[in-house]
Structure 1
Amino acid sequence: MKTVSVLVLSLALACAQPLAEEQNIRERRDIIHERKVGDGTVFGKLGVPETGGAQGMVGYKGNLMDNNYGRVDGQAHLTRTLGLPGGPQTGAGGRLDWTGSRGGASVDVMHTRGLGTQLDAQARGTIHQFDRNTKIEGYGGYSQQFGGPGGRQRPNYGFGATFRRRFR
């Protein structure tokens, strides 16, 4: 009888342990608000970044151009992060996205006071279309940190190509 009691008690504790751990796991959620203003959108966001603390962002995004050559969308934003060990951080940034019929490109710049400026650029597109099911696509990226505690960093870049064939 003692063996059965110990076995039942051990089984109950083993089943209860994962339930207690699951209750402590919370999904990270951001509060986002957007409102149409003119031809664009004003947005605000409150959340918890991966680095910790609490971050607020406010900005404006909209379409800058849309014609036969493609579409250009732009965004500008300000951020404020609180609760970090080094004190609060303030940043300003912007982004441009171009999308055309054969590819696209984006440039993203973010300056954080005391940490410098981060520049990121990506491009992708069709290099050659053999037929409607076969093509070669190319892509590339570049990023670099300017200023901040580490000074100007070496650039990080990469390029590549993909052969794509759809079988029907």
Structure 2
Amino acid sequence: MKSFCIFAAVLVAVAAESYPEWYIQQGRYRRDVTLDHKVGTNGRVFGTLGQNDAGLFGRGGYEHNIFDDHRGKLDGQVHGTRVLGPYGDSSHMGGGLNWQNSNAAASLDYNKQIHGPSSFNAAAGGKWPVGKNGDFSLQGTYGKTSGMRHDYGGRGVFNYRW
């Protein structure tokens, strides 16, 4: 019986490879419409509408450079997503702030699923020179999703280039 099952599996595999070309269905190509438009001197509006085998989707948002000077660079963003599919629909919205300078960086993100969970993530890190050939970096993260435990992380690294 075992050898019959193996024989049947091999026969099915060989038959699957011998279908005529006209029978094999071609995959659908993506049909996306994308927008990326500068607004003023420091803003940008972006968005995408599209369709694939999983359904229809749309994503849009606004990104703004708050400052870029001796303090570093601070960018803010708000965005939203809508998906319509055969397995259900979903809507998400969120935003974030990202700051960086020559030695450090930090980010703060918030995301909310409409009628669902929300999540909050923060991360920061810095890199400082040590002597002529070395540097020390320190990074930390914090995250929280509704209904789940807090997530913490940290990392410290000393690099020395011989």
TM range (shorter): 0.7 to 0.9
Mark the runs of 5 or more structure 2 residues left unpaired by the alignment. Answer: 1-13
Change (3 A) 1:25 1:116: same
Aligned residue in 2 for 1:74: 76
Aligned residue in 2 for 1:125: 126
For residues 151 and 133 of structure 2, the distance between their equivalents in structure 1, rounded to whole angstroms, comes to 33
SS at match of 2:115: coil
Normalised TM-score (structure 2): 0.73
Moved over 4 A (4+): 23-31
Q: Identity, % of aligned pairs? A: 35
The number of residues matched between the two structures is 140
Residue 158 of structure 1 aligns with an amino acid whose one-letter code is: G
Q: 1:123 Cα shift?
A: 1.1
Pairs within 5 Å for 1:5-154: 32-38=34-40, 39-46=42-49, 52-83=54-85, 85=87, 87-126=88-127, 128-146=128-146, 152-154=147-149
Residue 40 of structure 1 aligns with an amino acid whose one-letter code is: G
Mark the runs of 5 or more structure 1 residues left unpaired by the alignment. Answer: 1-12, 147-151
Alignment RMSD (CA, Å)? 2.8
For residues 165 and 139 of structure 1, the distance between their equivalents in structure 2, rounded to whole angstroms, comes to 18
For residues 140 and 29 of structure 2, the distance between their equivalents in structure 1, rounded to whole angstroms, comes to 33
Encode CA deviations 1:97-132: one digit per residue, 9 max, x unaligned: 000121101111111112221111111112x42124
